[in-house]
Copies of this chain bind each other. A is one copy, B any other.
Amino acid sequence: MPREPKPIRSDIAWSTTDRITIRGLDLPGEILGHLDLAEFSFLQLTGRRPTAAEGRIYTALLITLVEHGLTPSAIAARMTYAGAPEAMQAAVAAGLCGLGSVFVGTTEGSANMLAEALADDDGTADLDDVARRVVSGFKERRAIVPGVGHPLHKPIDPRTPRLFEIAEAEGVAGRYVELMKRIGVEATRTYDRELPVNATGAIGALSCEIDLPLKAVRGLGVMARAIGLVGHILEESEQPMALQLWQRIDREASAHIRTAT
């Protein structure tokens, strides 16, 4: 550790007594009133303003990820709020902690799968061939193909056709979207059960179409879910369920070992 200190630097923002600049734009003069929230988020993450089409796609991706009902993440946030209502930020934090490989990872997984499959594509590869290679690769590794199938939404995940429709309307539905669709078809054929493209598959494909850095894809879910969790915490503050659930769960879980009183 007795090494020479190296300089640190960040290119995101700076401020002086009378100026605040974020990603090269003046906050009061060029951002406030000029960008919407999703566009500003895109700027914050990538360093560039999105085109109008990219902004609308990015908006759709984020909105799709905000609210998925009483997920484990929402339950964790409500449980945390019940214990520390004075620290709402910690309840959101607790809810975010679980956005890992099981629930948000599949979004990242689809994006990675598509980006890899088309890494060397010059626009001439046969996408049916690519889809077959991708699906058989997962099958051989006994891994789950990301972005296809859904426990509840069958035979179609209602978000997928809508996301693809928006992408087409914005003129950004290209080879990633096409490949994702064919992976859905190929997976359905290979595993012989309905495995249509789900919302995370559509999100992965659109993330690639608008050239979002792969590392940003998990970030989408994290930012979006922060909004969703604030909604759950506000509802918990007015219409609580956490303490009721606690009682039920604690009683049921230990019933088999609890001595009668």
Contacts and interface: CB of A to CB of B under 8 A. Distances in A.
Interface residues of A toward B: which range? 35 or more
A41 B37 contact: yes
A152 B103 CA distance: 37
A212 to B, nearest CB: 10
Contact of A80 (B12, B62, B98, B152): B98
Interface string A19-43: 1111000011101110111101100
Interface of A is mostly: helix
A36 B15 contact: no
A22 B11 CA distance: 38
A92 interface: yes
Interface stretch (A112-120, A141-149, A235-243): A235-243
Interface stretch (A128-136, A177-185, A249-257): A249-257
A195 interface: no
A23 B93 CA distance: 23
A215 interface: yes
A244 interface: yes
Contact of A87 (B17, B18, B90, B215): B90
Contacts of A64: 27, 32
Interface in A87-127: 87-104
Contact of A162 (B10, B16, B33, B100): B33
Contacts of A73: 79-80, 83
A145 to B, nearest CB: 20
A72 interface: yes
**Interchain residue pairs A-B with the least CB separation, the first 6:** A84-B100, A83-B98, A226-B226, A28-B162, A80-B98, A8-B241
Interface of A: 1-3, 5-22, 27-29, 31-33, 35-38, 40-41, 44-45, 56, 59-60, 62-64, 66-73, 75-77, 79-104, 151-154, 156, 158-159, 161-163, 166, 169, 213, 215-216, 218-219, 221-223, 226-228, 230-235, 237, 239, 241-261
9 contacts: A1-B250, A1-B251, A8-B245, A12-B231, A15-B258, A22-B66, A37-B41, A91-B98, A245-B249
